[in-house]
Amino acid sequence: MPAASPSSLSRRALITGALAVVAAPVVLAGCISEPEPAAPTPDETALEFAVASAEGLLAEYTATASVHPALAPRLDPLAADHREHIAVLAPSPSPAPRAEGSPSPTPTPTPTVPAEPAAAVAALAASETAAATALATRLGPIDGDLARTLASVSACRAAHAADLGGAL
């Protein structure tokens, strides 16, 4: 067997080097890449919707009471229900971290309040009806305690709409 010159490589060394070059990107990619965020479950989607819509309704009540202070005694107990729903459904004041690249939540715009008190109450009743219906339609794929809780929230919203219908 002739002596290997310093410039020649053995077949074993050449194969090992080639495998290292091919395997390195795969190994490094596994270390660097982050896992894909899991798609939200129907429970998470319905819960997020329930909280967001409660926050929107609360903003409407707050704005209406600001524009029409005489309505505040009538509206405050209903607004308190929405505060309680938010506290129960979203007990953590800090939002969950969002996956990179996912859209950030849009801030709730300040609601427009009609100038006439009767029209303002009618607008609140319509918002309550729409929110109750929208939440009820999301209950299909949900089971157990969350379904019962969200159904109660939806029923509360429907009761608010009926109550507001006779407010003035």
| Residue 6 CB neighbours (<10 A) | 4
When divided into structural domains, the chain yields a total of 1
**What digits encode the pLDDT tens for the residues 32-89?**
656 778 888 889 999 999 999 999 999 999 999 999 999 999 999 999 999 999 999 9
Q: 161 lies in a domain?
A: yes
Confidence at residue 35, expressed as pLDDT on a 0 to 100 scale: 72
144 exposed, middle or buried (CB, 10 Å; 0-12, 13-18, 19+)? exposed
Q: 9 lies in a domain?
A: no
- Given a cut of 80, whether residue 20 has pLDDT beyond it is no
Q: Which residues contact 99 (CB under 8 A, 6 or more apart)?
A: 37
Confidence at residue 124, expressed as pLDDT on a 0 to 100 scale: 96
Which has more pLDDT, 132 or 106? 132
**What digits encode the pLDDT tens for the residues 85-122?**
999 998 765 454 444 544 545 555 788 999 999 999 99
Q: 158 lies in a domain?
A: yes
Domain extent, residue 81, equals 42-90+111-165
Q: 29 lies in a domain?
A: no
